[in-house]
Amino acid sequence: MVSPNEIKARVAQLKWHHSIDLGHGIVTPGQDNSTRKLGRLKLPESFAGKTVLDVGAWDGFFSFEAERRGAKQVLATDSYSWNGSHDWGDKRGFLLAREVLGSKVKDQDIDILDLSPERVGGTHDVVFFLGVLYHMKHPMLAVERVASITREMVVLETAVDMLGCRRAAMAFYPGDELGKDATNWCGPNPQAVVGMLKVAGFRRVEIVAGVRPLWFRLARAAREKFKRGFGFWSYARIDRIVVHAWK
């Protein structure tokens, strides 16, 4: 059995994205406030009897949460965040958290655009697609790949842009215009997100956490400009939404 001191030492050696409670008063120092985000996702209280697939699982916070809520099987998938080709971390965080938590979550290294029922063991009752869509060069294709492995429901969380446009529209970021991050490729508006899901075959689509008031976005943009040097107006024009969609 791994001692708390050993867990602390191993946690300190890694770069974390998710904030995961490992017990013994140890929480991984992730840049993502995962617990606060969990409240916006409005997940079902129970996943009893369900199979769950987590696309872009990273350190696995939401995979482990689905298991904690009773899912009979959880598959965490990722590629970019696990391959160690960037300075954001790698798969070691997920593996350590799974070990310490005594989790039975399975894992598979696979790119999002390679997702298919044949590659991931069939369709899954619930699919998480969290914080991934805006990183896609081919967002519609990514949504179609996710739809192909979803049996019942997808939970999608994404950054959104073009908020003043009433029609479905999408911003394209050929450089690092969004958050100084060159892996951010697109910013669909909420209408575009809903439209893509419907085109991909989801019959009912509901925005469960929508765009927040302008004062909130302005305050957040000021904070991010002060802390990270982000462009004020480029950050003020965006927000994040959560969508539930059913087949």
Residue 231 binned pLDDT confidence (cut-offs 50, 70, 90): confident
Look up the pTM and report it.
0.94
Specify the pLDDT at position 192.
98
Taking only the tens place, the pLDDT of each residue in 19-60 is: 999 999 999 999 888 999 999 999 999 999 999 999 999 999
Domain-wise residue ranges, the chain: 4-212+240-246
Q: Could you give the CA distance from residue 23 to residue 7 in angstroms, rounded to a whole number?
A: 10
Taking only the tens place, the pLDDT of each residue in 129-153 is: 999 999 999 999 999 999 999 999 9
Cα-Cα-Cα-Cα torsion 68, 69, 72, 74, nearest 10 degrees, comes to -60
Among residues 185, 166, 163, the alpha carbon closest in space to that of 174 is found at 185
Report the alpha-carbon angle 65-82-155, nearest 5: 40
Q: How far is CA 192 from the centre of its chain?
A: 18
Length of the chain measured in residues = 247
Specify the pLDDT at position 234.
79
Residue 233 binned pLDDT confidence (cut-offs 50, 70, 90): confident
What CATH architecture is 4-212+240-246? 3-Layer(aba) Sandwich (3.40)
